[in-house]
Amino acid sequence: MNQLLNFRREYSATEFSEENALHDPFQQFKNWLNDAVQSGIEDANAMVLSTAGKDLKPKSRIVLLKNVNSEGLSFFTNYNSNKALQIEENPNVSLLFPWQLLDRQVRIEGTAEKVSPEESDEYFISRPEGSRIGAWASPQSRIIPSRKYLEEIEQELKAKFIARSLPRPLYWGGYRVIPELFEFWQGRSNRLHDRLEYYRNNGNWKIRRLAP
Ligand SMILES: Cc1cc2nc3c(=O)[nH]c(=O)nc-3n(C[C@H](O)[C@H](O)[C@H](O)COP(=O)(O)O)c2cc1C
């Protein structure tokens, strides 16, 4: 794969400066998310979630952002999965939105906590029936003997229940990441990219610039 060495391009997008950055990082994030959706990036809400448990070995995977407001950013998953076990051991997590089509990336650091059971119920019942059955059928992150094993569980559930009537499994629900830090990265020419970091200072968000 020697050609990897030659994979490079110039980033020439517009600047992201202290002058045009919004004061509220959540609003700034929502603007960039909106730009990502409008630009046609598929799964613009896909984010890399990194966690590290007691063994200090980081694990990363993609999850889908399902809600963002001034409290935090939420996603849904299995509370017995590896990510959930790691969050239980250490709630510090990092999120990454890779929006390369716009020469942008957003990094977020914060702590994850479970959303309320009501919020998880509300999202669970909004999901397509197949996804609801899937949540019951899959012991996420556990070793299973075969694909057939999963399909048999799915068939059994379909035969026994009307998917619409399936309640949320107690081991399935949401997490909210409460940010302590946001970094907005905008690619610029000659590798002199714009990096603005929002951090908390006495309860207020402040902005500082990082070298690219
Ligand atoms: C595009 C995409 C979206 C995904 N969205 C989710 C999600 O919202 N929730 C989830 O639990 N897993 C999602 N996954 C699967 C995870 O990446 C991961 O395989 C799974 O959650 C198990 O991770 P763990 O064993 O580290 O807990 C998604 C995968 C991809 C590729």
* Per-residue pLDDT, 3: 81
Active-site residues, by number, are 191
Here the tokens at position 159 are: 């035969």
Q: Which atom of ligand 1 is least distant from the CA of 64?
A: 8
On whether the CB atoms of residues 163 and 130 are closer than 8 A, the answer is yes
Q: Give the model confidence (pLDDT) of 141-152 as tens digits.
A: 999 999 999 999
CATH class of the domain defined by 11-127+170-209:
mainly beta
Whether 52 lines ligand 1, by a CB cut-off of 6 Å, is: no
**What is the average per-residue pLDDT within 176-186?**
98
The domain spans of the chain are 11-127+170-209
> Rounded mean pLDDT of 178-189?
96
- Ligand 1 atom with least separation from CA of 141: 25
Predicted pLDDT of residue 73: 98
Helix (H) or strand (E) holding 160: helix 147-160
Q: How far is the CA of 117 from the centre of ligand 1 (A)?
A: 20
pLDDT at residue 134 is higher than 90: yes
Quick: pLDDT tens for 64-85: 999 999 999 999 999 999 999 9
Whether the per-residue pLDDT at 11 is higher than 80: the answer is no
Separation of CA 49 and ligand 1 centre (Å): 9
Q: Is the CB of 90 under 6 A from ligand 1?
A: no
Check residue 10 and give its pLDDT.
Answer: 78
65 and 108 Cβ atoms separated by less than 8 Å: no
pLDDT at residue number 1: 65
Q: Is 144 in the pocket of ligand 1 (CB under 6 A)?
A: no
Residue 14's pLDDT band (cuts 50, 70, 90): confident
> Scanning the structure block, which residue is given the tokens 């200072």?
201
